[in-house]
A and B are shown apart, each in its own frame.
Chain A
């Protein structure tokens, strides 16, 4: 695998994480618990879509086959999506969505901060920009979890259940394949193992303040970065890609 191919795969992975998470958050549009939160979630969703677009544009250039960012988003199959399993999990109730957002955005903050030092200038530029957005996502979701954890019995139970159900997908965030090996060697990306303690600290800070218990000896499920997904991704793509698959090249 050449460095260019690896960087293409990596941009797709980051783009896919953003697109799928953004699509999940967009499902809250008009269904938020209060108007303010409805807007906050769709705002974050738009941040994700924006990041996905930049990353796909770069990927398309690296690929050099004349594909557009839209082609990459709408014409790839489930097995060609490299997002982490966490982001494709269903929204569940508000507690699940906020827990998922916090677990992912804390990872995104540590990754984007590390990628700001990337030897690839375009990627480091994007990373600087993305860091600002994901920091806010982390802050917003953390605040809610601390409230839910210190709120009523019901809010505490729901958020703890969310943590128990999502924890099994967290190891997947730090998995690596050939793509990472090539990019780490080239100084373009980082060893994910180095991010783990940083992530762990920022997650535990929130969970402690919210008085949640971190699940112990949890069986971890991985495979997202190699295109092995849970049952949910296919359904998301089915809905998201329907128009372009049924009417290729459709515009409005």
Chain B
């Protein structure tokens, strides 16, 4: 038997620290299905009170940009400083921006 075949499928784990906050990538787990992936994620990534909600998704289902495309994807954003919202005044009392 090949060594890889004994590994369960890989899942990516996203944790929401509290209601309303975005889900952040926390890491990955091995699991045979969604249920097990959620439990494993709970045991590994929320032991110290890091979250109130978990998403898991099969790593294979994530489409990722290619390193080869890096230049044409991201370089054009380098010199567009006007795209940053730094030219606006933020009213006092507005949080989370």
Q: Which residues of B contact A43 (CB under 8 A)?
A: 43, 47
**A10-63 with Cβ < 8 A to chain B:** 34-37, 39-40, 43
Q: Could you count the A-B residue pairs with CB atoms below 8 Å apart for me: how many are there?
A: 24
With both chains docked as a complex, state the minimum distance between the C-beta of A240 and any C-beta of chain B, in angstroms. Answer: 23
A40-B43 contact given A34-B8, A143-B35, A143-B36, CB 8 Å threshold: yes
**A34, B44: Cβ atoms under 8 Å?**
no
Q: Which residues of A contact B16 (CB under 8 A)?
A: none
Q: Which residues of B contact A143 (CB under 8 A)?
A: 35-36, 39
**A39, B44: Cβ atoms under 8 Å?**
yes
Chain A residues within 8 Å of chain B by Cβ, number: 11
With both chains docked as a complex, state the minimum distance between the C-beta of B87 and any C-beta of chain A, in angstroms. Answer: 48
With both chains docked as a complex, state the minimum distance between the C-beta of B29 and any C-beta of chain A, in angstroms. Answer: 6
For A43, the closest partner residue in chain B by CB is B43
**B35, A36: Cβ atoms under 8 Å?**
no
A140 to B29, alpha carbons, bound, how many Å? 16
Q: Which residues of B contact A35 (CB under 8 A)?
A: 30
With both chains docked as a complex, state the minimum distance between the C-beta of A105 and any C-beta of chain B, in angstroms. Answer: 14
Chain B residues within 8 Å of chain A by Cβ, number: 12
A73 to B44, alpha carbons, bound, how many Å? 28
Q: Does A122 contact B (CB under 8 A)?
A: no
Tell me which of A36, A40, A139, A147 contacts B30 (CB under 8 A). A36
With both chains docked as a complex, state the minimum distance between the C-beta of B62 and any C-beta of chain A, in angstroms. Answer: 19
Q: Does B58 contact A (CB under 8 A)?
A: no
For B8, the closest partner residue in chain A by CB is A34
For A151, the closest partner residue in chain B by CB is B32
Tell me which of B30, B39, B47 contacts A34 (CB under 8 A). B30
Q: Does B31 contact A (CB under 8 A)?
A: yes
**B44, A140: Cβ atoms under 8 Å?**
no
Q: Which residues of A contact B36 (CB under 8 A)?
A: 143
**A39, B43: Cβ atoms under 8 Å?**
yes
Query: Which residues from chain B sit less than 8 Å from chain A, CB to CB?
Result: 8, 29-32, 35-36, 39-40, 43-44, 47
15 contacts across the A-B interface (CB closer than 8 A) = A34-B30, A35-B30, A36-B44, A39-B43, A39-B44, A40-B39, A40-B40, A40-B43, A43-B43, A43-B47, A140-B39, A143-B35, A143-B36, A143-B39, A147-B32
